A and B are shown apart, each in its own frame.
Chain A
Amino acid sequence: AQKVTQAQTEISVVEKEDVTLDCVYETRDTTYYLFWYKQPPSGELVFLIRRNSFDEQNEISGRYSWNFQKSTSSFNFTITASQVVDSAVYFCALSPQTGANNLFFGTGTRLTVIP
């Protein structure tokens, strides 16, 4: 069974603060993919990152960084120097590599950046 847990329902930070969104997953598959999506007020889900289970290297993209740790089954997302435009709902998701192509999503974390 696949499960993704985003324990933080809502987070508020003041602009320029750093914020980390937590994601913990469960899977019995040895090969899988992890994702983060952003849902701005316009509604669509915007792809942010995909990580293969064999690649534990952390990734940085501008103000965004991701920390993948298989030992704790976590794939946390950090926004550095947050901006108002970062306000959105962020979803973590898992895709097993066992033939199923559907994504298993967490319940999402609503981030509000206060100016």
Chain B
Amino acid sequence: EAGVTQFPSHSVIEKGQTVTLRCDPISGHDNLYWYRRVMGKEIKFLLHFVKESKQDESGMPNNRFLAERTGGTYSTLKVQPAELEDSGVYFCASSQKGAGSTEAFFGQGTRLTVV
């Protein structure tokens, strides 16, 4: 069974450019989460989808970040325009139920560097 897959694995962009990260969850997992780890700090929650609906987006830093999950399958996270402080590793996770009741499976992350 394929795990959570994230594309790209690395991305280097200039400040002001746009970047789109993609996450393919495990097939059949309704819950999809985005997290971010800024260097040396904790991994922080960004948002949570249940199927195609945003269940909780309280962790989104600002309106430069837009997440979508059309059709309730894969998800994209767009940063537009990117700023230097957006650099970090973006993780996606999926689970069958809420992450607290069952384990969440994480992808390998996308390392975003804004220069």
B104 touches A103 (CB 8 A): yes
Q: How far is the CA of A27 from the CA of B9 in the complex (A)?
A: 34
Query: Taking the nearest CB of chain B, how far is it from the CB of A6, in angstroms?
Result: 9
Contact of A45 among B45, B48, B55, B91 (CB under 8 A): B91
Contact digits for A36-60, partner B, Cβ 8 Å, 1 yes 0 no: 0100001111110010000000000
The residue of chain B having its C-beta at the shortest distance from the C-beta of A93 within the complex is: B43
Q: Which of B35, B98, B111 has the most CB of A within 10 A?
A: B98
- Asked whether A102 and B56 contact (CB < 8 A) given A37-B106, A45-B106, the answer is yes
Please, which residues of chain A bring their CB within 8 A of the CB of B106? 37, 44-47
Number of A-B contacts (CB under 8 A): 73
The residue of chain A having its C-beta at the shortest distance from the C-beta of B45 within the complex is: A102
Please, which residues of chain B bring their CB within 8 A of the CB of A74? none
Please, which residues of chain A bring their CB within 8 A of the CB of B59? 102
Query: Taking the nearest CB of chain A, how far is it from the CB of B43, in angstroms?
Result: 4
The residue of chain A having its C-beta at the shortest distance from the C-beta of B106 within the complex is: A45
Chain B residues touching A, range: 20 to 34
Contact of B100 among A33, A44, A108 (CB under 8 A): A33
The residue of chain B having its C-beta at the shortest distance from the C-beta of A31 within the complex is: B100
Instruction: Give the interface of A toward B (CB within 8 A).
Output: 4, 32-33, 35, 37, 42-47, 50, 91, 93, 95-97, 100-108
Instruction: Give the interface of B toward A (CB within 8 A).
Output: 3-4, 9, 31, 33, 35, 40-45, 48, 55-56, 59, 89, 91, 93, 95, 98-109, 111
A-B contact pairs, 21 of them (CB 8 A): A32-B100, A33-B101, A43-B109, A43-B111, A44-B3, A44-B108, A45-B43, A45-B93, A47-B103, A50-B102, A50-B103, A95-B99, A101-B56, A101-B95, A102-B45, A103-B35, A103-B43, A103-B99, A103-B104, A105-B44, A107-B40
